[in-house]
């Protein structure tokens, strides 16, 4: 049986009203919020950092904040993000020389540990780190921008991880919507990010319902 959680990405929503956009998504049935942090170095785009997350936390006291840290030097922001109210901290394996130490730093801070993998990076780069991780994020687009096309080839990575690590949380992110969510869930992803497909839809509630119906028991 398939059962997964839906975490909308607010990247392509109205960022001048982040709290309003987030609350709307939660009211529509989001299980958690996927928050995309970009620093203009690790990816060629900029979004927001821990000061904004801290303000968002004031207005959204209970939702699970899943931080997708598309930043160089991810070790720099662990303490600040924890203080800001983050629940999970996903760094990119490509962004650090010392992933094991970083996993431990995140765990000690009290957040869940996520490790992200870009499309061109082998899934085997995290083989020795799974013990330290709560979640692995398989990118299904090149990180940096919302609204790109889903890369179905990445499902091989998801299946490999699911087969070898039945208890691991596996997240997919990029180009996921009603047409692509089923293959993600079938491959074994249980945390599903969807941005543009939801927030740019004519009827976001309808899209959220359809996503939820595909993966909820
Ligand atoms: C891409 C981000 C994703 C993305 C999701 O760099 O990490 O979270 O914005 O949005 P869609 O679903 O539009 O690809
Ligand atoms: Zn993301």
Which domains does the chain possess? 5-208 (3.20.20.70)
In angstroms, the CA 33 to CA 22 distance is 7
Active site residue 36: yes
* 195 in a labelled binding site: yes
Pocket-testing residue among 141, 154, 171, 181, ligand 1, by greatest number of atoms within 8 A of Cβ: 141
b or e along 9-35 (b: 16 or more beta carbons within 10 Å of the residue's beta carbon)?
bbbbbeeeebeebbbbbbebebbbbbb
For the stretch 130-162, pLDDT in tens is 999 999 999 999 999 999 999 999 999 999 999
> Which is catalytic among the residues 66, 80, 173, 182?
173
What secondary structure letter does DSSP report for 105? Answer: H
Residue 173 annotated in active site: yes
Catalytic option among 31, 36, 66, 169? 36
Q: What is the ipTM of this complex?
A: 0.98
Tell if the pTM clears 0.90, that is, is over it.
Answer: yes
């Amino acid at each position: 049986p398939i059962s997964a959680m839906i975490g909308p990405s607010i990247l392509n929503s109205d960022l001048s009203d982040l709290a309003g956009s987030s609350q709307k998504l939660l009211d529509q049935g989001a299980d958690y919020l996927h928050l995309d942090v970009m620093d203009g170095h690790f990816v060629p785009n900029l979004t927001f950092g821990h000061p904004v997350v801290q303000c968002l936390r004031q207005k959204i006291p209970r939702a699970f904040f899943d931080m997708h840290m598309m930043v160089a030097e991810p070790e720099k922001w662990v303490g600040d993000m924890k203080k800001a109210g983050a629940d999970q901290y996903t760094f990119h394996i490509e962004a650090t020389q010392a992933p094991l130490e970083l996993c431990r730093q995140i765990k000690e801070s009290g957040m869940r540990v996520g490790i992200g993998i870009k499309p061109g990076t082998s899934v085997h780069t995290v083989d020795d780190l799974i013990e330290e991780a709560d979640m692995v994020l398989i990118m299904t687009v090149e990180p940096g921008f919302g609204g790109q096309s889903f890369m179905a080839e990445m499902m091989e990575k998801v299946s490999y991880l699911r087969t070898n690590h039945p208890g691991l949380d596996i997240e997919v992110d990029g180009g996921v919507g009603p047409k692509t969510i089923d293959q993600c869930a079938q491959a074994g992803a249980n945390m599903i990010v969807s941005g543009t497909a939801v927030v740019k839809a004519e009827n976001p509630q309808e899209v959220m319902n359809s996503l939820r119906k595909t993966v909820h028991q």
